[in-house]
């Protein structure tokens, strides 16, 4: 007797620690009924599982694969499932048939484009490659267009840079990881998003809150983990070419091969350029910088019986040139200089991870993550120049085992960080010439421990870590996550934890270089925050169709924070430690529904209350909209040849910085307007390739007067930071994807 097996979520493939989970049920009059006390075990395994009253089971440690999973229950036909060597992260829905019915065979496979991990005690949403295909998705900053949790902002009107934000807080407070290795920290915040092409990504996991202690202390608002395509799963050759009406062109080429039963390798190539000088608002400045970007990645994987290893190297070179029309590198030295904006970035990194399992103890494992990089960055805004160099090393050793049974799991480990930064900033401004250096070497050893309890309805993860920072002493980081399964369809979650990071006043606030105000930098201390939150997830049937509802609330409280104060004196930017309150309150409601076959609707509303003490008063954070509405509709035709996707967002007005105008008057209207954004894409799938046509900002909503005093860019009133809406307008793009499996 065969069973109906639906692969609902295949995620986090080939990570160091494996897991298979699922539910066993029968169908009575078309409705699922859980089967209690069904036996689920591996043919060659030493221990099995028994399903709970909701029919759920969980294997957090697996025997040596491949193996056969056996499912049996009194009064039902027993069955088997073949689990391959690479099937190390599965969620299974298994239907058993009573012995009184006739045998039949039905196998359905489905992978949702976005989903909430229901068995994870953290509030985690997964976006897979199908979700990323809905947008142009040329780099990581453009991978969140169909997601309401992560916002993408354009912080100034001259650099073309994009930055992400979670919970109303800048991306510096969100920890970004590449397969559990922390990345995009310090200098990477300047251009790192553009160095991760969307076609490389297999899935993205977005976690709200501080997460766990295993991967460090930096997470304050959330965690984004990126899973790249694996060497033993990647297509032999994949080509993606893209061009747009804004003069941007891009080519991605990637592929790989299995060299034998243990070794496999993959390569990734990315090239992009912007070649069209645009100035739609006629202010004399390029709407989009010109420039080129080249990224290369090569990764290897070895999978033995008790040992797995992955390692690779990545390089990133980019050169961007913005500012006034006609500007070229070196014009700032001429007798009649033009205002120029430039980024020159060279970045190389090496990474690896290894894991050991034990045949006599299948739930025990040892893993190690390691990472090293060298980074050179040069940034220019007019007569402001920043030159920086960074070398970083990271290693994390982990041990995992069970205490008596799989209900009790412990993780312990030790980590070490070395981060050497040399940074120099020069300013030749109307107020005078300034020079300031930031030279520091951070050495941070740390240890941590984490305990996980998994019961029939309750899952608890509690962790503690202790790090010693050579500059700021001992740092204690407690974190906890709790999930309670109220019913079969309702999950309740709660989280709390501390975050710690050392700020970089220049990189964290790089867009503020786009004015000519002098910077006053005080003696800065590390940032410390506490995050508390909870959520409710409800999965149900609406008009006999699948639907889900999620509501969450998170509060981030800073006990110290780097404040860029422009309210105390409109003629200065003052960088100082927090003197008063700073917090973020976020409420988000998500609704997902399939009103008809192959049509999926996602709707969301987000409320943000983000405040900090500036100018001696508790005020709203600048450039943060209090309200956001979001809706996404995706439809696939019956023959799966056509895919349609539309996303609409609306942002409420946000607070702008006060600016002194050329006539000496300080701006009175320091509030932006309502911003509507509509994106859409149509994809046609041919036999051997597919083409897509799309549009961003389809209704061409844009800000005409983005810059203050653009006719005198070296004067004291010039300011390009009051950008509350797009300045580019509509973008129409065309692309092709060719795949050789």
CATH of the domain at 636: 2.40.170.20
The domain of 48 spans 4-111
Do 74 and 163 lie in a common domain? no
- Tell the residue number behind the tokens 């759920």, with chain if given: 56
Give the pLDDT band of residue 100 (cuts 50, 70, 90).
low
Q: Which of 50-54, 121-125, 223-227, 528-532 has the highest mean pLDDT?
A: 528-532
Do 143 and 182 lie in a common domain? yes
Do 74 and 137 lie in a common domain? no
Residue 609: alpha-carbon gap to chain centroid: 22
Do 103 and 131 lie in a common domain? no
- Residue-wise pLDDT for 404-462, tens only, equals 888 999 999 999 999 999 999 998 888 888 888 999 999 999 999 999 999 989 999 99
Please give the helix or strand (H or E) that residue 507 lies within, else none. helix 505-508
How far is residue 519's CA from residue 432's CA, in Å, rounded to a whole number? 11
**Residue 199, helix vs strand vs coil:** helix
Over residues 501-523, the mean pLDDT reads 93
Give the pLDDT band of residue 564 (cuts 50, 70, 90).
very high
Interior CA angle at 109 toward 108 and 115, to 5°?
130
Q: Cα–Cα distances in Å, from 56 out to 126, 421, 460, 727?
A: 21, 50, 17, 51
Do 413 and 543 lie in a common domain? yes
Please give the helix or strand (H or E) that residue 431 lies within, else none. none
Give the pLDDT band of residue 191 (cuts 50, 70, 90).
confident
Looking at residue 4, its pLDDT comes to: 38
Q: What is the tally of structural domains in the chain?
A: 2
Give the pLDDT band of residue 606 (cuts 50, 70, 90).
very high
Give the pLDDT band of residue 630 (cuts 50, 70, 90).
very high
Q: When comparing pLDDT for 616 and 362, which is higher?
A: 616
Tokens in use for 293? 């970007």
- Residue-wise pLDDT for 63-81, tens only, equals 778 888 889 888 788 888 8
Do 232 and 104 lie in a common domain? no
Do 583 and 633 lie in a common domain? yes
Count CA within 13 A, CB hemisphere, residue 150. Answer: 30
Looking at residue 255, its pLDDT comes to: 95
How far is residue 494's CA from residue 552's CA, in Å, rounded to a whole number? 9
Report the number of secondary-structure helices (H) and strands (E) in the chain.
3, 44
Looking at residue 46, its pLDDT comes to: 67
Tokens in use for 8? 């609902």
Over residues 371-392, the mean pLDDT reads 95
Give the pLDDT band of residue 8 (cuts 50, 70, 90).
very low
Do 175 and 191 lie in a common domain? yes
Do 105 and 172 lie in a common domain? no
How many CB atoms lie under 10 A from the CB of residue 685?
17
Burial of 369 (0-12, 13-18, 19+ CB in 10 A): buried
Looking at residue 17, its pLDDT comes to: 46
Q: Cα–Cα distances in Å, from 721 out to 150, 246, 388, 513, 673?
A: 21, 22, 23, 9, 15
Do 92 and 182 lie in a common domain? no
Residue whose C-alpha is closest to residue 516's, from 714, 705, 324? 714
Q: Cα–Cα distances in Å, from 293 out to 193, 197, 250, 312?
A: 12, 11, 9, 20
- Residue-wise pLDDT for 656-683, tens only, equals 999 999 998 998 889 999 999 999 999 9
How many CB atoms lie under 10 A from the CB of residue 713?
27
Looking at residue 357, its pLDDT comes to: 87
How many CB atoms lie under 10 A from the CB of residue 686?
10
Over residues 87-115, the mean pLDDT reads 69
Looking at residue 78, its pLDDT comes to: 85
Do 629 and 642 lie in a common domain? yes
Looking at residue 7, its pLDDT comes to: 34
Q: When comparing pLDDT for 402 and 85, which is higher?
A: 402
Residue 214: alpha-carbon gap to chain centroid: 18
Query: In this predicted structure, which of 79-83, 110-114, 225-229, 652-656 has the lowest mean pLDDT?
Result: 110-114
Give the pLDDT band of residue 48 (cuts 50, 70, 90).
confident
CATH code for the domain of 89: 2.60.40.1120
All residues at 6 or more sequence positions from 522 whose CB lies less than 8 Å from its CB, including other chains: 574, 575, 576, 577
Looking at residue 712, its pLDDT comes to: 93
- Residue-wise pLDDT for 280-298, tens only, equals 989 999 999 999 999 999 9
Of 111, 127, 148, the residue that ends a domain is 111
Mean of the per-residue pLDDT values for the chain? 89
Q: State yes or no: pLDDT of 11 exceeds 50.
A: no
Q: State yes or no: pLDDT of 57 exceeds 70.
A: yes
Tokens in use for 71? 């499912």
Beta-ladder partners of 225: 177, 205
- Residue-wise pLDDT for 692-722, tens only, equals 999 999 999 999 888 999 999 999 999 999 9
Do 10 and 120 lie in a common domain? no
Of 77, 95, 111, the residue that ends a domain is 111
Beta-ladder partners of 201: 228
Q: State yes or no: pLDDT of 642 exceeds 60.
A: yes
Of 60, 80, 111, the residue that ends a domain is 111
């Amino acid at each position: 007797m065969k069973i109906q097996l639906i692969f609902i979520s295949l995620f986090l493939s080939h990570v160091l620690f494996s897991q298979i989970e699922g539910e066993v049920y029968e169908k009575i009059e078309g409705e699922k009924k859980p089967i209690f006390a069904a036996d689920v075990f591996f043919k060659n395994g030493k221990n099995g599982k028994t399903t709970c009253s909701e029919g759920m089971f969980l294997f957090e440690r697996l025997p040596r694969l491949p193996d056969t999973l056996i499912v049996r229950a009194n009064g039902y036909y027993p069955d088997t499932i073949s689990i391959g060597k690479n099937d190390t992260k599965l969620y299974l829905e298994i239907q058993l048939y009573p012995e009184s019915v006739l045998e039949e065979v039905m196998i359905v496979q489905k992978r949702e484009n976005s989903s909430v991990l229901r068995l994870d005690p953290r509030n985690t949403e997964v976006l897979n490659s199908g979700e990323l295909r809905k947008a142009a998705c040329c780099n990581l900053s453009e991978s969140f267009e169909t997601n309401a949790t992560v916002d993408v902002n354009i912080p100034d009107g001259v650099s073309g840079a994009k930055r992400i934000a979670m919970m109303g807080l800048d991306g510096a407070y969100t920890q970004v990881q590449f397969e559990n290795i922390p990345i995009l920290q310090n200098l990477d915040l300047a251009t790192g998003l553009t160095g991760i092409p969307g076609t490389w990504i297999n899935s993205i996991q977005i976690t709200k809150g501080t997460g766990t202690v295993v991967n460090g202390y930096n997470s304050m608002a959330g965690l984004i983990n990126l899973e790249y395509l694996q060497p033993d799963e990647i297509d032999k050759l994949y080509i993606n070419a893209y061009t747009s009406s804004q003069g941007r062109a891009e080519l991605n080429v990637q592929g790989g091969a299995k060299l034998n039963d243990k070794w496999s390798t993959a390569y990734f190539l990315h090239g992009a350029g912007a070649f069209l000088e645009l100035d739609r608002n006629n202010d004399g400045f390029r709407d989009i910088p010109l420039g080129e970007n080249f990224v290369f990645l090569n990764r290897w994987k070895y999978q033995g019986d008790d040992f797995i290893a992955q390692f690779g190297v990545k390089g990133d070179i980019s050169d961007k040139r913005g500012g006034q029309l006609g500007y070229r590198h070196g014009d700032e030295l001429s007798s009649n200089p033009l205002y120029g904006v430039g980024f020159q970035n060279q970045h190389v990194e090496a990474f690896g991870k290894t894991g050991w399992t034990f045949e006599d103890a299948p739930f025990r494992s040892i893993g190690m993550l390691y990472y090293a990089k060298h980074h050179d960055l040069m940034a220019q805004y007019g007569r402001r120049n920043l030159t920086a160099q960074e070398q970083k090393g990271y290693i994390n050793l982990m041990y995992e085992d069970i205490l008596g049974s799989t209900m009790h799991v412990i993780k312990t480990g030790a980590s070490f960080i070395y981060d050497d930064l040399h940074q120099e900033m020069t300013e030749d401004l109307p107020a005078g010439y300034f020079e300031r250096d930031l030279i520091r070497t951070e050495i941070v050893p740390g240890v941590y421990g984490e305990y996980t309890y998994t019961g029939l309805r309750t899952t608890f993860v509690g962790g503690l870590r202790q790090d010693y920072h050579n500059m700021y002493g001992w740092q204690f980081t407690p974190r906890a996550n709790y999930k309670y399964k109220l019913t079969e369809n309702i999950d309740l979650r709660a989280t709390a934890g501390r975050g710690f990071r050392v700020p970089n006043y220049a990189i964290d606030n790089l867009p503020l270089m786009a004015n000519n105000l002098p910077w006053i930098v005080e003696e800065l201390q590390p940032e410390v925050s506490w995050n508390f939150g909870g959520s409710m997830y409800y999965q149900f049937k609406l008009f006999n169709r699948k639907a889900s509802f999620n509501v969450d609330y998170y509060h981030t409280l800073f006990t110290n924070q780097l404040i860029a104060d422009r309210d105390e004196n409109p003629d200065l930017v003052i960088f100082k430690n927090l003197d008063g309150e700073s917090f973020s309150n976020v409420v988000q409601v998500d609704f997902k529904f399939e009103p008809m076959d192959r049509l999926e609707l996602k709707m969301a509303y987000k409320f943000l209350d983000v405040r900090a003490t500036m100018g001696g008063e508790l005020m709203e954070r600048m450039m943060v909209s209090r309200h956001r509405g979001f809706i996404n509709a995706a439809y696939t035709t019956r023959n799966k040849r056509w895919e349609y996707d539309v996303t609409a967002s609306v942002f409420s007005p946000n607070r702008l910085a006060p600016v002194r105008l050329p006539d000496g008057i300080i701006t009175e209207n320091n509030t932006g307007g309502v911003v509507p954004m509509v994106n859409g894409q149509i994809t046609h799938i041919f036999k051997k390739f597919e083409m897509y046509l799309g549009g961003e900002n389809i209704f061409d909503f844009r800000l005409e007067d983005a810059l203050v005093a653009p006719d005198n860019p070296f004067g004291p009133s010039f300011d390009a930071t009051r950008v509350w809406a797009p300045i580019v307008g509509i973008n129409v793009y065309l692309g092709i994807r060719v795949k050789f499996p």
